[in-house]
Amino acid sequence: MKEIEKLLEVMASLRDPENGCPWDVAQNFATIAPYTIEEAYEVADAIAREDHDGLRDELGDLLLQVVFHARMAEEADLFDFADVANGISEKLIRRHPHVFGADEERAAGKQDGSWEAIKAEERAGKGDESALAGVALALPALKRAQKLGKRAASIGFDWDDRTGVRDKVLEELGELEDAIGTREPLRVEEEFGDLLFSIVNLARHLEIDPEQAMSSANHKFERRFREMEHEIRATGRVPREMSLAELEQEWRAAKRRIE
């Protein structure tokens, strides 16, 4: 496509050592990675806000990240944009035999568990046969915990039902209380992490996305807190000058107004 070709040419010009942009030339995979993650979040934010014009722009910014990394890889003789595009095309074809496979595979339709089975074969082909292979370290911690739990469950390492997970949550809460009593910061942090991990597993058994649940909770808290601040200031008071009891009263009132 001519649009892609134009973008690749623009990126090559920006990275030109003699006539390019000094900032772009100075970058490497590690320095660009945070921007890549940020742009992915901005795409998700535009979707959440149903901002379709913004989504178009944010997808462009995310595409730039792919082109940037591919250009740096090409300069290092590792791979280029065509390799990236061909690689994902081949992967999609390989993982959708019910669409691209032989006649009998297409006739059979999508099979339950086939996606994970194909991915497991791919991981084994890379030399790592662990069920946990390929769970990206850079994922948000809740999302990574969710994926790790799901992968472990895929080989039968899981609770029979959510009652067992709930009991585990209570067990971890007790261990956190014990750790708090020791006043050892590292132990408290470790036990707090274990509690969060068990809660993520409970979410999985409840078929809840913990990342989405946390996002919704954040949004609800922010709306209620801003409502509380607005009402307080409307009466000429300053929130930080109020007592905790007064703030709690206003908070409860805000909760009644904001579901």
In DSSP notation, 150-203 reads HHHHTTT-S-SSHHHHHHHHHHHHHHHHHHHHHT-HHHHHHHHHHHHHHHHHHH
- Name the CATH architecture for the domain at 141-208: Orthogonal Bundle (1.10)
Could you tell me the two tokens for 86? 């061909």
- What's the confidence (pLDDT) of residue 259? 80
Q: Is pTM, for the whole model, over 0.75?
A: no
Whether residue 132 contacts residue 152, with contact meaning beta carbons closer than 8 Å, is answered with yes
- What's the confidence (pLDDT) of residue 104? 81
Q: How far apart are CA 224 and CA 248, in angstroms?
A: 12
Place of tokens 């999508």: 110
- What's the confidence (pLDDT) of residue 127? 76
Helix (H) or strand (E) run with residue 129 in it: none
- What's the confidence (pLDDT) of residue 103? 78
- What's the confidence (pLDDT) of residue 39? 94
Most distant CA pair in the chain, distance = 74
CATH number of 2-94: 1.10.287.1080
> How many CA atoms lie within 13 Å of 27's alpha carbon, on the beta-carbon side?
22
Q: How far is CA 125 from its chain centroid?
A: 26
Burial of 152 (0-12, 13-18, 19+ CB in 10 A): middle
Q: What is the pLDDT along the chain (259 residues), one digit of tens a residue?
A: 799 999 999 999 999 999 999 999 999 999 999 999 999 989 988 998 899 999 999 999 999 999 999 999 999 999 999 999 999 999 999 988 888 888 787 777 777 767 777 777 777 777 788 889 888 888 889 999 999 999 999 889 999 999 999 999 999 999 999 999 999 999 999 999 999 999 999 999 999 999 889 989 999 999 999 999 999 999 999 999 999 999 999 999 999 998 8
